[in-house]
């Protein structure tokens, strides 16, 4: 019965429950439209509210824009906001765009400000994405005491809620975004921020869940889709947590593109092996070019239990999602954007967060474990200016190491070098179509090479890789990396981000430069590139 339930496509969630706008996480619905008020804010006809306006894409732009276009009823949204804000009217709405959502800083006639977030199609599956995000914010805020904005109202039913889009109304985060002050902070202040983040994350580690999957209110998904218990230790459950459950994964990787309508195992899963097999079979079914693998044994059974704990973890801890208080020693006072957070294996979830990760020169040389970064051997021969740069870089490396030792080491220590061996296949499996098959092949080659340390002597490796296979992959890797270096240089030179994103102001200039670059590439180099990636080495063109 469970396997049949897992195969239902997420579109079926639309029939789970009717229109419901929630207020302050209460189970009772509210009627936000009883006292209509004409909006004082931006007119309904302003398309900039619904479209993505923070940049453009140099290729596949129509698809990228469509994935970020959400039309909604401005007047209806304003009435919802007015209802949950004591009848105050909306004065203005300032749009703040992210990769997945549109957020509006809403100012009211009583001087109060709130945030209205509208989900874009690219963010994740209908209903599940918003329902899980709200439940996660409630749980982390009210059960774990994590500083998360309070949700005032929300709806995951775009077709019936009157607004015409999934939305969340929440309080504004206090403090200031870390991104606005980080460059001005000294070493001691930055260390305070890292320690404050670690202190907040420790609260997330206080509970271990019984299954892997996304967190929901029980009222938002069918009983058959709910894990039988919430926590690994059932004695931890009480009246405050009784409304929560672990359900199917709302992670975009299980729903993006055609996967949304496929019969996939989306959980919840009882162990890491089940989740990893589901991720592999998900991609196998989508690509539809390989047979189901025969897994002789589970290499994850030897991993330390602590590393396999099912924990909730923030999916993107960058400086824009962290708010700090300058008046309180830059203590973290709010963390936003919990969309996409799920209960998963600690060894996969816990990684160095973006805000503290050093990406400058020598990043790959930062030692692992308890070893600390050191100043260059040539430091004494450097000029004062060069020494100042080296010192700044060293401090940034030490900041990353501080986080790794205090937060990650207890969960990674039992894995050692095996962690990357175990995690790389998982991370690359979901991107084989976008990034090519080579990263996954290399990751699996490493698994085969490291198999004795991953399993027991009497367990054969399920991968069959010959010496010729390995030599062929090595040669292909060298060629692809050479092409990648050229393309990376182009992206860096022209200021492109992921999938060809550039600022709107730079779009015309960058497009002309790219077209000019393509026209002057030497014919010999073109032939070499075609040999490595036949017909597909020039990525800056429409493919869909």
CA distance 170 to 349: 26
**pLDDT of 289:** 36
**pLDDT of 30:** 29
β-bridge pairing 101-108 and 214-217: unpaired
- Whether 126 contacts 13, CB under 8 Å: yes
Positive or negative torsion for Cα 200, 205, 206, 207? positive
Q: All domains of the chain, ordered by start, with CATH? A: 20-173 (3.30.200.20), 467-532 (no CATH)
Rank 13-22, 36-45, 193-202, 282-291 by mean pLDDT and report only the highest. Answer: 193-202
pLDDT for 9 beyond 80: no
CA distances from 532 to 76, 466, 477, 523 (A): 54, 22, 10, 15
**pLDDT of 284:** 72
Instruction: For residue 313, give both structure tokens.
Output: 């973890």
> pLDDT, tens digit, for every residue of 256-265?
877 888 888 8
Instruction: For residue 252, give both structure tokens.
Output: 């975009």
- Whether 58 contacts 47, CB under 8 Å: no
Neighbours of 283 (CB within 10 A): 20
> pLDDT, tens digit, for every residue of 362-406?
888 888 777 889 998 899 999 999 999 999 999 999 999 999 888
pLDDT for 66 beyond 60: yes
Q: What is the percentage of the chain residues whose pLDDT exceeds 70?
A: 79
CA distance 71 to 48: 10
Distance linking the first and last C-alpha atoms of the chain: 38
Of the CA atoms within 13 Å of residue 256, those in its CB half-sphere come to: 15
pTM over 0.85: no
Q: Average of pLDDT values for 264-275?
A: 89
**pLDDT of 249:** 94
Alpha-helical (H) ranges within 430-466 are: 432-435, 438-454
């Amino acid at each position: 019965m469970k396997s049949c339930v897992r195969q239902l496509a997420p579109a079926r969630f639309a029939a789970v429950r009717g229109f419901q706008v929630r207020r302050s996480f209460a189970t009772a619905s509210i009627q936000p439209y009883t006292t209509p008020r004409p909006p004082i804010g931006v007119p309904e006809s302003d398309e900039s509210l619904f479209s993505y306006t923070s940049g453009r894409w140099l290729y596949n732009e129509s698809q990228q824009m469509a994935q970020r276009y959400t039309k909604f009823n401005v007047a209806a949204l304003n009435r919802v906001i007015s209802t949950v804000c004591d009848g105050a009217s909306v004065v203005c709405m300032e749009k703040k765009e992210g990769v997945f959502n549109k957020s509006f800083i809403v100012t009211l006639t009583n001087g109060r400000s709130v945030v209205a977030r509208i989900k874009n199609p690219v963010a994740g599956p209908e209903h599940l994405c918003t329902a899980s995000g709200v439940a996660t914010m409630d749980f982390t805020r009210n059960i774990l005491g994590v500083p998360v904005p309070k949700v005032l109202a929300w709806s995951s039913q775009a077709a019936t809620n009157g607004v015409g889009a999934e939305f969340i109304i929440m309080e504004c985060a206090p403090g200031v975004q870390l991104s606005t002050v980080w460059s001005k902070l000294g070493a001691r202040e930055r260390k305070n921020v890292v320690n404050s983040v670690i202190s907040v994350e420790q609260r997330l580690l206080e509970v271990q869940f019984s299954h892997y999957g996304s967190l929901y209110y029980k009222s938002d998904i069918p009983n058959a889709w709910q894990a039988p218990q919430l926590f690994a230790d059932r004695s931890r459950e009480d009246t405050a947590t009784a409304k929560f459950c672990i359900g199917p994964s709302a992670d975009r990787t299980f729903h993006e593109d055609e996967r949304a309508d496929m019969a996939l195992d989306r959980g919840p899963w009882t162990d890491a092996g089940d989740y990893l097999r589901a991720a592999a079979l998900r991609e196998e079914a989508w690509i539809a070019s390989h047979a189901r693998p025969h897994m002789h044994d589970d290499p994850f059974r030897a991993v330390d239990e602590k590393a396999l704990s099912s924990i909730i973890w923030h999916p993107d801890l960058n400086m824009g999602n962290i708010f700090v208080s300058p008046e309180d020693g830059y203590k973290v006072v709010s963390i936003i954007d919990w969309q996409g957070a799920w209960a998963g294996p600690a060894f996969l979830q816990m990684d160095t967060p973006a805000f503290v990760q050093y990406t400058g020169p020598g990043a790959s040389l930062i030692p692992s474990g308890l070893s600390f970064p050191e100043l260059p051997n040539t430091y004494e021969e450097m000029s004062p200016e060069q020494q100042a740069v080296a010192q700044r870089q060293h401090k940034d490396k030490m900041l990353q190491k501080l986080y790794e030792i205090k937060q990650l080491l207890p969960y990674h220590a039992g894995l050692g070098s095996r962690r990357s061996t175990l995690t790389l296949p998982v991370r690359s499996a979901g991107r084989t179509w976008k990034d090519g098959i080579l990263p996954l092949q290399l990751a699996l080659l490493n698994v085969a090479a490291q198999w004795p340390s991953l399993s027991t002597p009497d367990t054969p490796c399920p991968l069959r890789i010959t010496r010729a296979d390995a030599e062929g992959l090595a040669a292909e890797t060298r060629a692809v990396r050479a092409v990648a270096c050229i393309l990376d240089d182009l992206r860096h030179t022209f200021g492109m981000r992921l999938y060809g994103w550039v600022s709107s102001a730079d779009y015309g200039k960058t497009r002309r430069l790219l077209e000019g670059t393509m026209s002057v590439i030497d014919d010999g180099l073109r032939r070499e590139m075609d040999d490595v990636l036949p017909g597909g080495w020039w990525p800056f063109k429409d493919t869909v």
